[in-house]
Chain A
Amino acid sequence: MSFLLNKKTYNSRLIIGSGKYKSFKQTKKALDASGAEIITVAIKRTNLGQETTQENLLDYINPNDYKILPNTAGCYSAKDAIRVSLLARELLGDSLLKLEVLADKHTLLPNENETFVAAKELVKLGFSIMVYTTDNIKLAKDLEEVGCISVMPLASPIGTGQGIVKPENIKKIIKNAKVPIIIDAGIGTASDATIAMEMGCDGVLLNSAIAMSDNPILMAEAMKYAVISGRKAFEAKRMGISDSAIPSSNKKDAIS
């Protein structure tokens, strides 16, 4: 069940985001219920005029207990993404990063060119890049070849909860890959996560599916089992699909 990412073994193949929760307390509870060991955070300006006693997300999610995966959310160019990456490395003292360069504010789809340019540059700067990308098969391979440690194609656009829109593309990306393929964005419910894992994805990264459900703690737990279930089914290798019915019991012992 465990998997290797950036030379470290993780027991959980579920990575969760920390956005959209009602409170830091709820974020922490959902994180614990999900069993995830890696949690993504965004790097943004601090609120000014706050009290020095105001809590910070990192007071709740202790970087000694979890792997904090900073992202470059809010970046629309390679230049901005590189700047945020350097700030993230300074903040967390670690080179692991989720690279995300978006095309526009409406679709929130990855900007393929800028993502590629940023990935190449950040690898040169010594970052370990997990890259958010489209389900473009060629680009996924190119991102691997420039040195990204994980390629993370979307299931469907961020926050839509539509599940995997083009499973055939994801399957081809997995088949071509030598680095972990992690589905990132678009997962809506537990069965979507299971389907991704059954296909052979190495992991699933999701945020809204938990945070925007009516009961995030319960959904976090559902996602934990969904990912485990999908992975076990993948490892067990499913039965073949038949056009005609095949009885489950042996014919020769039939009474009549």
Chain B
Amino acid sequence: MNVILNGKEFLLDKKISLNNFLITHNINTNNIVVEINGSIITKSLWDEYVLKENDKIEIVTAVGGG
């Protein structure tokens, strides 16, 4: 199963929750927002959201800007 994270393709060998996916990929979960297929997934739902084939995941944070 493939998912796309911030424009890059990732191959998953089994069903996995969004939360476990973030942990497995060493993503600092403080100060981030996750959007899947254009909809924001609130932090409280990360555990119950199971990734699906071709999910387009965007992880954003605050960076320097004017």
Interface residues of A (CB under 8 A from B): 17-21, 27, 40-46, 48-54, 56-59, 68, 70-71, 73, 83, 86-87, 90-92, 158, 185, 205-208
Q: List residues of chain B with CB within 8 A of the CB of A205.
A: 66
New A-B contacts (16) at CB < 8 Å, excluding given A17-B66, A20-B66, A91-B61: A17-B65, A19-B65, A19-B66, A42-B66, A43-B60, A43-B61, A44-B63, A46-B28, A48-B5, A50-B26, A54-B28, A56-B61, A70-B62, A86-B40, A90-B42, A91-B60
Chain A: CB-nearest residue to B58: A45
Can you give 6 contacting A-B residue pairs, CB < 8 Å?
A40-B66, A44-B63, A51-B28, A58-B61, A58-B62, A59-B31
**Given the complex, which residues of A lie within 8 Å of B8, measured CB to CB?**
48
Q: Which of B1-30 contact A (CB under 8 A)?
A: 5-8, 25-30
The tally of CB-CB contacts under 8 A between chains A and B is: 106
Residues of B within 8 A of A21 (CB): 64
Most B CB within 10 A of own CB, among A44, A46, A90, A208: A46
Contact call A44/B30, Cβ cutoff below 8 A: no
Q: Does B50 have its Cβ within 8 Å of any Cβ on chain A?
A: no
Q: List chain B positions with a Cβ less than 8 A from chain A.
A: 5-8, 25-33, 35, 38, 40, 42, 58-66
Report the separation of the CA atoms of residues A206 and B65 in the bound assembly, to the nearest whole angstrom.
10
* Smallest CB gap from B41: residue in A: A90
Q: Are A91 and B31 in contact (CB under 8 A)?
A: yes
Partner of A45, one of B28, B42, B60, B65: B60
Name the A residues within 8 Å of B32 (CB-CB). 46, 91
- Considering the complex, give the chain A residue whose CB is closest to the CB of B8: A48
Contact B64 A90 (CB under 8 A): no
Contact A46 B65 (CB under 8 A): no
Measured between C-beta atoms, what is the minimum distance from B24 to chain A in Å? 11
Chain B residues contacting A158 (CB-CB under 8 Å) are: 66
Q: Which of B40, B61, B62, B66 has the most CB of A within 10 A?
A: B66
Partner of A52, one of B5, B28, B65: B28
Contact A45 B66 (CB under 8 A): no
